Amino acid sequence: MKVLKGRQKPIIEVCNFSFSYEDIDEQRLFDRLDFKLNQNEVTLLMGASGSGKSSLALCLNGLYPEAVEGTSSGDIFFLGRHIQEYETGELTQEIGIVFQDPESQFCMITVEDELAFTLENRKIPASDIRSRIESALRAVGMEGFNQHNIHELSGGQKQKIALAAVLLLEPGLLILDEPTANLDPISSLDFVKLVEEIQEEQKMSVLIIEHQAEEWLRLIERVLVLGRDGKLLADDTPDRLFSEQKQLLEQEGVFLPGEYSSTPAFREKWNWGMQSRENVLSVRDLSFSHGKQSVLKNVNMDVHGGEFIAVAGENGAGKSTLLQLLAGLLEPEKGDISMFDHPLGKWQENDLRKRMGFVFQNPEHQFITDTVYEELTFGMKLNGYAEEEMKNIAGGLMEQFHLKECRNSNPFALSGGQKRRLSVATVLDETPDILLFDEPTFGQDAATTAELMDYVMGLKAKGMAIIFVTHDMNIVDAADHAVILKQGEVAFSGPPNSLWKEERLLHEARLRLPARFRKRRREGEIYDLIH
């Protein structure tokens, strides 16, 4: 952990600042906030899902309230000058944001065009453009990717290109909004190291928005906690905050880093064993290619009723592709998939959807209506549910997933975590036999993660088969069965406790041990636990 650098000059000063979105009934998202961000300082911003962290980032760089139907009062200063005094677009060059969903910030097709676009906007002479692009790609470890199509890169690579584009702005303040949420465990650690190196070299201020602070502890100097009531609940050093304010943070639903937390491991809470052995899905010698690229090779897998399977592996290993094949959204190039002993391709679409629920990696790919309520009732309407019944089921789901206040909001205007919870809730209106989730817990705070897991494990107890694609090793730890993909092949299939003994495989598949082992590793007990 870093030592505070003594008295520092502010880069941002927020004074008595309030903000509200018009469609949340005049309710203030931020209520008279006062805080400073200092030059050359790394600050972490935490808070419950929906507390307003992403919105605050967009207020700091002057995009909000102008870009939305919002109202604000109070003042924000950047380097001593009121942000309203900056010309349009001037501040977005000074304060670079890497958004929660990096795809949303790309405007061009190839990596090189995207980076050149940023430089052209900055009116950098054409003769300098090539060398600047090369050095930005080098800084993020993506040399040689100039001509790649951005949209075909893996999640981790997209995140690095988004960072390279923002670095080309040479911003005074870099804001990273949940930058590691889609990265495999080792890429997450690499990304943190990368930010640390860049920050030390370029001496910029960095504001990181993250639910899980653990990996960032080595470089953060201050932590701000935004409360659900729109107030700043804490502004302190990480060590003081996490050791002295545990109760407050737990009440707000914020994750405590492993070394400060006394919450039992997910495994102790959720590994309840299996209820039935009925085979519901079987996969035999499955192979699939995207164009010429072979993505999955000879995958075999069996899924049983009441079983919770976690699929993990490095970015680009083929996890989402496997899930889409299991859901019948892609057709195998070779091999067979059957559900209840019938080939998947022979099921009527309607019957298939009734027996299997699927949640996409990107929740936005799933939304088709204009309000949260319509989104939740869409499937039920198609299946002829009575109005009253739909109201009851949707009401229960909104209560369960903390979406009641957003009943009439547009799904696209929700916070990242709310979008994720809505996409999960929409497949739970009925009770299928198999549920396939692509990273269902990403972007959730501690409380909503625990609630989501409780709910899903309750369904498992009723005999549903659950498959999670996840980068969260604590969730893999709680599964009955883990499937690890490495370059499209099954590198491991078995109980998680056997997986944790395979140090070499974990390393090659870019995975880590769950927190319960890492904690003990520090205490020197690791070998007793796994051997």
Ligand X SMILES: Nc1ncnc2c1ncn2[C@@H]1O[C@H](COP(=O)(O)OP(=O)(O)OP(=O)(O)O)[C@@H](O)[C@H]1O
Given the rule CB under 6 A, which residues bind ligand X? 21, 23-24, 29, 47, 49-55, 68, 152, 154-156, 184, 290, 293, 295, 313, 315-321, 361, 406, 409, 413-418, 443
> What's the min distance (Å) between Cβ of 348 and ligand X?
27
519-526 LR contacts (CB < 8 Å, sep 24+):
519/258, 519/259, 522/259
Q: Say which residue the tokens 């790649």 belong to.
A: 148
Least Å distance, CB 215 to ligand X, is 17
In whole angstroms, how close is the CB of 485 to ligand X at the nearest point? 6
Closer CB to ligand X, 49 or 441, in the complex: 49
Cα dihedral 224, 225, 227, 232 sign: negative
- State the minimum distance, in angstroms, from the CB of residue 313 to ligand X: 6
Nearer to ligand X, 21 or 492 (CB): 21
Smallest gap, in angstroms, from Cβ of residue 525 to ligand X? 31
Task: Kindly tell me which of 313 and 432 has the beta carbon lying closer to ligand X.
Answer: 313
Cβ proximity to ligand X, 118 vs 418, nearer residue:
418
Q: In the bound complex, what is the minimum distance in angstroms from residue 438's beta carbon to ligand X?
A: 7
**What residues have CB less than 8 Å from 362, skipping those under 6 apart?**
101, 103
Burial of 144 (0-12, 13-18, 19+ CB in 10 A): exposed
Closer of 274 and 330 to ligand X (Cβ): 330
Q: How far apart are alpha carbons 16 and 428 in whole angstroms? A: 42
What are the helix (H) ranges across 303-445? 319-326, 349-355, 372-382, 387-400, 416-425
CA angle, 251 then 418 then 510, to 5°: 85
Question: Judged by CB, which is closer to ligand X: 29, or 249?
Answer: 29
Residue whose CB is less far from ligand X, 315 or 423: 315
Q: Strand locations in 87-136, DSSP E?
A: 95-98
Instruction: Output the smallest distance, CB 50 to ligand X, in A.
Output: 4
Distance CA 434, CA 338 (A): 13
| CA contacts within 13 A on the Cβ side of 288 | 26
Contacts 24+ apart (CB under 8 A), 81-90: 86/62
Whole-number minimum distance, CB 211 to ligand X, in Å? 6
CB of 384: closest distance to ligand X in angstroms? 31
Closest residue by beta carbon to ligand X: 417
Closer to ligand X by CB, 306 or 488: give it.
488
**DSSP string of 475-519?**
HHHHSSEEEEEETTEEEEEE-HHHHTT-HHHHHHTT----HHHHH
* Beta carbon of residue 268, minimum distance to ligand X (angstroms, whole number): 26
In this structure, what is the dihedral angle of CA atoms 220, 226, 232, 237, given to the nearest 10 degrees? -20
| Cβ–Cβ < 8 Å for 502, 531 | no
Q: How far is the CB of 451 from ligand X (least distance, A)?
A: 14
Give the nearer residue to ligand X in terms of CB position, either 68 or 447.
68
H helices present in 168-301, as ranges:
185-202, 238-244, 246-252, 266-270
Q: How far apart, in whole angstroms, are the C-alpha atoms of residue 497 and residue 132?
A: 47
Quote the strand ranges of 424-472, DSSP E.
Answer: 434-438, 465-469
Strands 232-236, 222-226: pairing kind: antiparallel
Rounded to an integer, what distance in angstroms lies between the CA atom of residue 238 and that of residue 2?
10
Long-range contacts of 130-133 (CB under 8 A, 24+ apart): 132/168, 133/168
Characterize the bridge pairing of strands 42-47 and 205-209: parallel
Q: Nearer to ligand X by C-beta: 68 or 129?
A: 68
The least distance separating ligand X from the CB of residue 109, rounded to whole angstroms, comes to 13
- 140: burial class by Cβ within 10 Å (0-12, 13-18, 19+)? buried
- C-alpha distances (whole Å) from 158 to each of 103, 104, 179, 183, 486 are 7, 11, 10, 10, 20
Closest separation in Å from C-beta 394 to ligand X: 17
Q: What is the dihedral of CA 496, 497, 502, 508, to 10 degrees?
A: 30
Beta partners for residue 309, in sequence order: 467, 481
Nearer to ligand X, 50 or 363 (CB): 50
| CB closer to ligand X out of 119 and 403 | 403
Q: Which is nearer to ligand X, 377 or 409 (CB)?
A: 409
